[in-house]
Structure 1
């Protein structure tokens, strides 16, 4: 087996076959050459793993400062027998090494801006698709390596800033919409770069003077600001009047500051999203003098207001800007409803709210990349999506249990290992330079997991999401059948009506033909006859 792996390494290096992985020469190629030429490196090869998996594990070993053979021994001592089954051994060992490395490297300040970290996470996905020696390389697409959805959904949610279990599939679909359903590194890196900028924007806005007096007391983070550009105003409608101003969304409330004539702002009006005020946020039509003409506004109402508040987002065509604001406002509102419903407190409350914030940051990152477009904003926001999915309430219930107990369900896995660290979204945001609530990053004693992911298994949350997606597909199929029947019914009715009205329809077509004078003789006869009939009727009357 060792000889087979060595020969594979040497053959691939000689032929330059790993161009299918990166397209261009990089440190990855150099590492393969080093591993193929150095006898010492060959001793560290794991026979069960493919060449790319061996390289990834070697990187993980360096990050953890643990020898490869010791990493493998730790896995075998901590993993259950089912995880060590020969058919699953290579992939589970790879996941174990990757998750441990990610759990440590994501605790480094500014890790998301590190290009080596970005490349490592992508290479982990590549290796996940071909973990074993027997696996064949992935097919090339335009001489650039690509990653499939299953690999993305296993590795990406291990870094909570990059993806979450609930919206991961939808995020992948957006990232691969222009590349044939497979993820290229160039797109992935642009997304991570844009995500880093979105996080910096959040930090800068939250450290700015905006709402400084209010936020100093509540510790709110500013997620989005609109209405500062004169070409894209935000109008607050009160009665039949409207006034421009600046709209600010935080992780707790919505604020509107009226624009004064002297280009300054009045005291902010607060519309609470965190309390139990029976809030309603929905799209509405607006227009001058109270008319309902333009579908570009959001209505907010609660028991604390005497009348609803309407925020309009004017734009030349469409209502994408309004839809974006509607989705992010609802995301914060739904997150607080989730927290109240399941009585989540302390660190877990901060974590639950941060999940909504991270979803909004990812959505902002997607919008910032020209190649990545989506009109279904709610599909990338966890709480929005759960509000729409069949079984979404079960997903939220499972999420609540996971947050409050932090016990991730594992099938046939009872061996607890205290060497695996969980990636806390709270600590990760702190490591990205944005303190967010209370953070805990203590070693996990519940098993081999990282974040919401378990090595080699599906967590309770993943199972709930999978079940909901399957139900959604069934609902879609059923809806398609209903729509088909409805369309067929409409078609039948139309056909019947056409049959009944066919003489009138044919007469109309014939009159149009005569009116066009394509046949002058017939048109002349028709005009003569028509004139005679009209004259006769007029004479008779």
Structure 2
């Protein structure tokens, strides 16, 4: 089996996944017979289509895949009401385990379409729910341009393959079951928040165009991170082994980062790695040696939003403050922008995520491989956050954050999430990821193999970490955070905490509305009397924040005109 997957991986690296399926020239009768899939009677047409494509990726006939599922997970028999869905999950997860071995799988449009079809099939897996579709004009699509990504998965010689309607959408449950199988795409802890962000403008239903745009943006972010070590920006940084550049700001001359120390300020660029912040001040055409601000060691670090301005004036809410026992006075990083403070908010969130990740590592005394997995979760979360920001200009916050450790810090009772995560990390046994562990036949052993450092190996497979830095995973088959027919305890904990938080906030809002007795009545009266003053203050604060530059400019012009007119009248 190991040799088979090794050959498949080499093939995928030499050619795209499309080349596994497509054939040039005319097909003989024997070729057509060999390519014809055998449908599984219990499954719907779209589920059969997905499983057939999975069998092509795995080089295993569909009937053998079904047999493996029934053998390895014998509790899911054909009489089970979830048989079709669990079989679909089994085949999809195994195919994705192989697909994700290719470093550039995010750039393959066929793989993006396949993962979306897996979600569609998950929502409609059973033949009882969908009448079998008769053979339609699928053959007409065989000659569609390959660049459009249609000919591979939606055109073949059988009635089983169906063409998926672009108007079809995916719900949250299907997304939560398929997306985390690719650790880069989603995390079980924040998968619901990611879905909410992607569907914020579509009523809670995910369209393929949105999903595809997200994966395209995520692919660009990953490529930028992979190329960062070879770019000039890394020349001044003394990075340690295993230290990865997560993001850089201040490269564009018109958008520098200003470092404030006392009343002095200097432009430069700011770099975040998985261990520290680096600032390089701009000299005469060159950047000076980088100054390192540690996020790993326990130095009583504080990161928070702060006001800043020229000569130490507190005017603009656009700065990030770093304070620790290693610096004599707080360091301010200002992110100038004409409208709002989104740059600062983004950098505050991602810097806090790395800081909280190291606090989590120290708190639970994690070992080397466990530390690497914990940091990998933080980095992948930042990549997803950045991809969402770049593609849709969405900035998730509060309980909707895409950052694992920030969510645990912000969500009331978030310690429970960290406890479950630490217990799962403690169960990581690298020796179980080797080939001999896969040979075990017990269901328990196969389930435990899913407790793997999925985020860490995702970074390795993407080329962000060298393979030699950690035990080789080539012989391992299961690298994911989801298991067939089961829900990860982390996902259950997040849902429960989110539900409890929503109920608590709703109850508090109800209490606030009815509290008008005794002294609360006086407070209510005072609020009504001061309402005009409060509203005026809010409007002034809105104008001062420059969230609407036109209104702020007009207000400033009006004030200046009034002052000049008053002074002129006094002089006359």
TM range (shorter): 0.7 to 0.9
Q: Residues 86 and 496 from structure 1, CA distance in 2 versus in 1: closer, same or farther, beyond 3 angstroms?
A: same
Aligned to 2:485: 456
Matching residue within 455, 459, 464 for 1:425: 455
Match of 1:454, SS? coil
Residue 85 of structure 1 and its aligned partner are, at CA, apart by: 5.1
Q: For 1:125-160, what per-residue CA distance to the aligned partner results, in whole angstroms no more than 9, with x for missing partners? A: 0000001112249xxx99611111110011001100
Aligned with 1:332 (options 341, 349, 354)? 354
Is the CA contact 1:424–1:441 (under 8 Å) kept in the aligned structure 2?
no
> Could you list the per-position Cα deviations for residues 309-352 of structure 1 after superposition, in whole angstroms to 9, with x for gaps in the alignment?
11111112211111001001101111111111112222221111
Distance 2:69 2:34 in 1: 23
Structure 1 residues 456 and 386 mapped into 2: Cα distance closer, same or farther (>3 Å)? same
Change (3 A) 1:74 1:339: same
Structure 2 equivalent of residue 65 of structure 1? 59
**Preserved CA contact (<8 Å) 2:226 2:464:** yes
**Aligned with 1:333: secondary structure?**
helix
Deviations 1:437-462, CA, capped at 9 Å, x for gaps: 525536669xxx65111111112222
Equivalent pair of 1:426/1:440 in contact (CA under 8 Å): no
Cross-structure match for 1:472? 501
3-state SS of paired residue (1:285): strand
Pairing of 1:340-351 with structure 2 (within 5 A)? 340-351=362-373
Taking structure 2 as the reference length, the TM-score comes to 0.73
- 8 Å CA contact retained: 1:157, 1:451: yes
Are positions 1:379 and 2:391 aligned together? no
Match for residue 400 of structure 1?
A: 422
Match of 1:282 among 278, 281, 304: 304
Residues 420, 386 of structure 1: alpha-carbon distance in 2 compared, 3 angstrom cutoff: closer
1:230-253: CA deviation from partner (whole Å, max 9, x where unpaired) = 322211111122221111111110
Question: Quick one: which of 266, 274, 285 aligns to 1:251?
Answer: 274
Are the counterparts in 1 of residues 119 and 175 from structure 2 also a CA contact under 8 Å?
Answer: yes
Residues 404 and 255 of structure 1, relative CA distance in 2, 3 Å threshold: same
73 and 121 in structure 1: CA distance in 2 versus 1, 3 angstrom threshold: same
Which of 99, 107, 113 in structure 2 is aligned with 1:113? 107
Counterparts of 1:419 and 1:220, CA distance in 2 = 29
Q: 2:289 aligned to 252, 267, 271, which one?
A: 267
Q: CA deviation at 1:190?
A: 0.9
Aligned counterparts of 2:525 and 2:412: Cα–Cα separation in 1:
37
Q: How many residues align?
A: 454
Gaps of 5+ in 2: 1-20, 23-31, 132-163, 433-441, 531-572
Match of 2:116 in 1: 122
Partner of 1:297: 319
Map 1:165-244 → 2, pairs under 5 A: 165-212=188-235, 214-244=237-267
Specify the SS of the correspondent of 2:248: strand
Residues 139-185 of structure 1, C-alpha deviation per residue, up to 9 Å, x if partnerless?
Answer: xx996111111100110011000000111111111111122221111
Uncovered stretches (5+) of structure 1, i.e. residues with no partner: 1-26, 29-37, 502-541
Report the TM-score when normalising by structure 1: 0.77
Aligned to 1:441: 473
Partners in 2 of 1:83 and 1:304 — Cα distance? 61
Q: Which moved further from structure 2: 284-293 or 311-320?
A: 284-293
Aligned structure 1 segments of 4 or more residues deviating by more than 4 angstroms: 38-43, 82-85, 418-423, 442-445, 485-501
The whole-number CA distance in structure 1 between the counterparts of 2:271 and 2:178 is 34
* Contact 1:346-1:438 at 8 Å conserved across structures: no
Determine the C-alpha separation between the residues in 1 that align with 2:358 and 2:186. 21
Q: CA RMSD in A?
A: 3.2
Change (3 A) 1:43 1:161: closer
1-side partners of 2:354 and 2:528: how far apart? Answer: 54
Aligned mates of 1:142, 1:454 — CA distance in 2: 29
Q: Does structure 2 conserve the Cα–Cα contact (< 8 Å) formed by 1:331 and 1:381?
A: yes
Answer with 249-258 or 472-481: which moved more.
472-481
Structure 2 CA distance for aligned equivalents of residues 145 and 228 of structure 1: 41
Per-residue deviation, 1:395: 0.9
CA 1:328 to 1:423, structure 2 compared with 1: closer, same or farther past 3 Å? closer
Answer whether contact 1:78 1:415 (CA < 8 A) is retained.
Answer: no
Distance 2:324 2:337 in 1: 27
What is the rounded CA distance, in whole Å, between the counterparts of 2:258 and 2:516 in structure 1? 40
